[in-house]
Amino acid sequence: MLFESQYNPPAQFFAELAGADTLWLEQHDNYRKQTYRNRCLILTAQGVKPLTVPVIDGNRSEKVKTSAIEIDYRQNWVHQHWRSLQTAYGGTPYFEYYADYLHDIYVQKPSLLFELNLAFLQFYLRCLRLRIPVEFTTEYYSHYSAPLVLDRRDCLTPKAQAVTEPDRKSVQPYTQTFGKDFVPGLSILDLLFMQGPAAGSFLA
């Protein structure tokens, strides 16, 4: 299965991985703004909130590979994101269970967005007990022939909830911190903080 690199991916990302033989990460695509490449969605008392990693050269007119995009640490975004997570999830059953591991990834401050996303991805795969090898593309292809490679690049977007196709796996509703109605499309962090080691059972 082929996906683009994502920052704290939505739970749906991992639901689709369940049962896959290999996860291929696209590292030769051109960076695109307003995607999960550098943002995730969390649930706060005020509703859904995006957390965006500021990047260098992300607004340039010429195309830049996602794997070459540098994180802009001139902005104090690490502190802001961590404070947002603490405020939104500090009272959840499993925030403290995962907090130190997540904080360690943040404070390492990798220079590249791709490296940051990969560090989080590998951590989440372990948490969800998804024993799936991660490989990287060696060149860019706009199209792949199914069923050799199931191309799911940019199928999930923060702009609108992705339509779940009949044969796609989905995230089963679970109790969330705020509101009465289940909010889909949130980062895997929301599920982990609420369900902890049982999170994988909601990826049906």
Helix (H, G, I), strand (E, B) or coil at 102: helix
In degrees, rounded to 5, the angle at the alpha carbon of residue 153 between the alpha carbons of residues 150 and 157 is 130
CA distances from 105 to 123, 124, 152, 154, 159 (A): 9, 12, 26, 25, 26
By DSSP bridging, strand 47-52 and strand 39-44 are antiparallel
Count of structural domains, the chain:
1
Judged against a pLDDT cut of 60, whether residue 164 lies above it is answered with no
Give the model's confidence band at 162: pLDDT under 50 very low, under 70 low, under 90 confident, else very high.
very low
User: Which range (89-93, 170-174, 185-189) has the least confidence?
Assistant: 170-174
What range defines the domain where residue 85 resides? Answer: 2-202
Handedness of CA 140, 143, 144, 147 (dihedral sign): positive
Q: Mind listing the pLDDT tens digit for each residue in 64-121? A: 999 999 999 999 999 999 999 999 999 999 999 999 999 999 999 999 999 999 999 9
pLDDT at site 159:
79
pTM of the model: 0.93
Mean pLDDT of the chain: 92
